[in-house]
Amino acid sequence: DVVMTQSPLSLPVTLGQPASISCRSSQSLVNSDGNTYLNWFHQRPGQSPRRLIYKVSYRDSWVPDRFSGSGSGTDFTLNISRVEAEDVGVYYCMQGSHWPPVTFGGGTKVEIK
């Protein structure tokens, strides 16, 4: 199984400042079809998860452009250019390149300083 490792576990951020979350996989996430199925999700307290980014860097239509995804192979990053109060919660990366099973990272909790 592909192990997904996120860092940091907790990320205190200042409103208006940038934030960055790292996600590393135990093997390359390049699929046999050439695509890299690495997604990012955000879960606010008491809510369901919501997808932000798919295939490394494609932003979902409901996602503000301050969110961006990058990376390749085994190293991936979610960036928030300017953190807003609504961005608090837990962020998860997920790989769908080598499944079953689909696997998630352990999560990064973002909170406001």
User: Which residues here bind another protein, judged by CB under 8 A?
Assistant: 37, 39, 41, 43, 48-51, 54, 60, 90, 92, 94, 96, 99-107
Of 74 and 102, nearer to another protein (C-beta) is 102
Of 8 and 101, nearer to another protein (C-beta) is 101
Asked if 78 contacts 93 with a C-beta cutoff of 8 angstroms, the reply is yes
Report the nearest approach of another protein to the CB of residue 96 (Å): 5
- Distance, CA of 108 to chain centre: 9
Report the nearest approach of another protein to the CB of residue 47 (Å): 8
The answer for residues whose C-beta is within 8 angstroms of residue 76's C-beta and 6 or more apart is 22, 23, 24, 25, 29, 38, 56, 69, 70, 93
Report the nearest approach of another protein to the CB of residue 26 (Å): 16
Of 16 and 24, nearer to another protein (C-beta) is 24
Asked if 94 contacts 104 with a C-beta cutoff of 8 angstroms, the reply is yes
Report the nearest approach of another protein to the CB of residue 49 (Å): 6
Of 3 and 15, nearer to another protein (C-beta) is 3
Token duo for residue 110: 């973002």
Residue 87 backbone phi and psi in degrees, to 5: -85, -5
